[in-house]
Amino acid sequence: MISQKWSKLIRSLQQKKYRKAEQLFFVEGEKSVLELLHSSWKVRAVFGTEHFLQQHHGLCTKADLVQQCTEHELVQVGTFSSNNAALAVAEIPATLPFKEQQGDWVLVLDQINDPGNLGTIIRIADWYGIRQLLCSPDTVDLYNPKVIAAAKGSFLRVQMFYQELLPLLAQSAMPVYGAYLEGESVHQLKLSKAGGYLVMGNEANGISPALKPVISHPVTIPSFSDTESLNVGIATAILCDNFKRLAAL
């Protein structure tokens, strides 16, 4: 059974201000909870069904608190419409300052508002071996439950940094690519071998006008129809795939 104290805490963690105050967040679902338990992140509590706790007893002992509960309780305190496995509460780790590493590729997210899009982009970065995501301060919070759910455990392997983008990009010696509706086709792009930044803009408005002066290489995905635009997650995947292919040539 999940106590009233823990129920209240978990529900409060759906809001950013309480996640910030408590320095805690939660993870739902069997796969994501297991990935969390396999990581080095500090786990405060695991609430699981009898089957989940029996099957993963040894792994669950990593948490400070382990409690059996019902599927109904998991749904009541969490955000999933169904959850037959577990929910875990973990500490938000301290974030080190971003440091530019020559030769690395960094995804830059400018005002990405949709939690599902951010979670998807984190998974894409993980898939393509991009280990750093640089986000504008007004990009949706990494520890939003919908972001964590969409990221499917990839948030454990991709470092996220939230800071003002313009000063950092303006002083960088590495090339800065930006996704625009008009730009050089990614199919004809001659890519730097020394790494760089790829800036993806807001779902509705694209890259902020303030960042335009620091975008050294505007790039686009050529369209073969009259469709106006692509979802930012899909566009990120296409560009990352082309960039990785070109970098390997």
Mean pLDDT in residue range 17-31: 98
Q: Tell me which of 13 and 224 has the higher pLDDT.
A: 13
Q: Does the structure show a pLDDT above 80 at 126? A: yes
Q: Does the structure show a pLDDT above 70 at 249? A: no
User: Whole-number mean pLDDT of the chain?
Assistant: 95
Q: What is the pLDDT of residue 228?
A: 79
- Give pLDDT tens digits for 59-94: 999 999 999 999 999 999 999 999 999 999 999 999
CATH of domain 4-91: 3.30.1330.30
Q: What is the pLDDT of residue 171?
A: 95
- 196-200 β-sheet, strand order: 159-162, 132-135, 105-109, 196-200, 176-185, 217-220
Q: What is the pLDDT of residue 246?
A: 83
Q: What is the pLDDT of residue 244?
A: 87
Q: Does the structure show a pLDDT above 80 at 220? A: yes
Give residue 193's pLDDT band: very low, low, confident or very high (50, 70, 90).
Answer: confident
Q: What is the pLDDT of residue 96?
A: 84
Considering only CA atoms, which of 169, 107, 180, 111 is closest in space to residue 139? 111
Is residue 60 within a helix (H) or strand (E), and if so which, with residue range? helix 57-60
* Domain segments of the chain as ranges: 4-91, 105-248
- pTM here is 0.94
- Give pLDDT tens digits for 175-188: 999 999 989 999 98
How many C-beta neighbours within 10 Å does residue 44 have? 16
Q: Does the structure show a pLDDT above 70 at 173? A: yes
Please give the CATH architecture assigned to the domain spanning 105-248: 3-Layer(aba) Sandwich (3.40)
